[in-house]
Amino acid sequence: MIVNEQAQKVYLEKDKFILENNIKPLITEELIEEHRRTPVGKHSAHLLKVLNYLRRHHEEIEGKYLIINLEPHKKWCLGRHPGGRGIHYEVYDDETYDSREAAEHALFLKRLKKFGLLDVDLNVKGGHA
């Protein structure tokens, strides 16, 4: 699908509005803790809204963070998609996780940082903490 520049501009402006007004206020220490406790499964309405926002940015596969299984059922790490076929993922194997759930939470934190909702020191930049 070809999108003209004006439509793309409107989309990005609306997306920024949603991030700033609908998503950012939901980011609290409590919400992050909820995700840490239950990264997979049933979530509160607020966490589900945040996850849907973060996940829907699948339009551009290049640079998308993902979970990579290094050893079946034993070891995971994060990586980035190169955006094309036949090109290896960028693998961040300097930090590994012993469960899928731990990797899911690390991915969640990385996505929050990407959208400016969490700083490097894991300080919440969203709603009240």
Backbone phi and psi for residue 15, each to the nearest 5 degrees, phi listed first: -60, -40
pLDDT in tens, 8-54: 888 889 989 999 999 999 999 999 999 999 999 999 999 999 999 98
pTM of this structure = 0.84
pLDDT of residue 129: 43
The per-residue pLDDT of the chain, averaged, comes to 88
H/E segment holding residue 92: strand 90-97
**Inter-residue contact 26 to 112 (CB < 8 Å):** no
**In the chain, where the domains are located:** 5-114
| d(C-alpha 82, C-alpha 63), whole Å | 6
**Confidence bin at 64 (pLDDT 50/70/90):** confident
